[in-house]
Amino acid sequence: MKSLVEKFPAQLKKAIEIGKATTFKPAKNEIKNVLICGLGGSGIGGTIVSQIIKDAIKVPVLTCNDYHIPAFVNENTLVIASSYSGNTEETLLTIEQAIQAKAEIAAVTTGGKVLEICKEHGFNYILNPGGMPPRSTMGYSVTQQLFVLEKYGLISSLYTDQMALAANLLLKEKENIIKGADELAAKLLNKIPVIYSADNFEGIAIRFRQQINENSKMLSWHHKLPELCHNEIVGWTEAHKDIALVVFRNDDDFYRTAKRTDFTISKVKPLVSSVTEVYSKGASMLEKAFYFVHFGDWVSVLIAEKRNIDPVEIAVIDELKEALATLK
């Protein structure tokens, strides 16, 4: 897993090549809304994409991390099915429902049943390289979802252009990222990480939590501002020295959110083992998002290294799949 994290900038560049080389047929109908369906490592990309493009796209973009699509899906909906393996059972079921709803369907995958369905029905799709744990392929997932939206004319090429800039930024900052990630990994060792971010970067906080879960084999939770200032902040009433707080911040966070963040940190800091503020780098929201993603991925694998555990192993998920296979 560590080598895959290190190759992440190269993955972004490869994803751009694949996206640019893929051609799409135009939509059958006008697209009035978008639903991105996916789970786990394939699903979180949809959340991050929806936040990155929200100030530019003119139609609503929602995500679905479940077996069932919402009732609004119809012939004017673009359903993007994101499944790295191509065999995610929840995503396959949402595709079936989207077909029944006569939606425009496009997929981001490496093969499996998703690819079979796309070929059978003539759906658009972007094919990524296989053979990696889905959580290590965020670069492919996000990049290709952006390309799907671009190819349908819902966003400009600005975002896919920014992917190349993000890759270069991560290469430039490699030593600083690894150094900072190692320092944070030491603080999180044998602690429960609590992750805070501004609302528009919640997808990043979720991604980091997921990586802590899967790579580091640790429990964690996250929340976002300003929402947590209306509930969770009241729960900080006593010391929790088994907790370490991580706060993702940007120099251009909305000034009132920034003030809330400062206040929250001042109240929580005396109660936890440590507070680490991680500031983004980059000129665009996309670059900042991928700076956070890469930084968090490094933290998760370095914790695994310090704990002397295998970050790739997901035996309990494999066990769950076997149990589900007995259901009809």
Task: List active site positions.
Answer: 214, 230, 321
Helix (H), strand (E) at residue 196: strand 192-198
Q: Are 152 and 29 in contact (CB under 8 A)?
A: no
Partners of residue 246 on adjacent β-strands = 195, 276
- Residue in 39, 146, 23 with CA at minimum distance from that of residue 86: 39
What is the C-alpha to C-alpha distance for residues 289 and 266, in angstroms, rounded to an integer? Answer: 25
Please confirm whether the linkage preceding 26 is cis (ω < 30° from 0): no
Q: Are 40 and 66 in contact (CB under 8 A)?
A: no
Partners of residue 81 on adjacent β-strands = 37, 107
Residue owning tokens 């390289």: 129
Polymer length in residues for the chain: 328
Q: Are 161 and 61 in contact (CB under 8 A)?
A: no
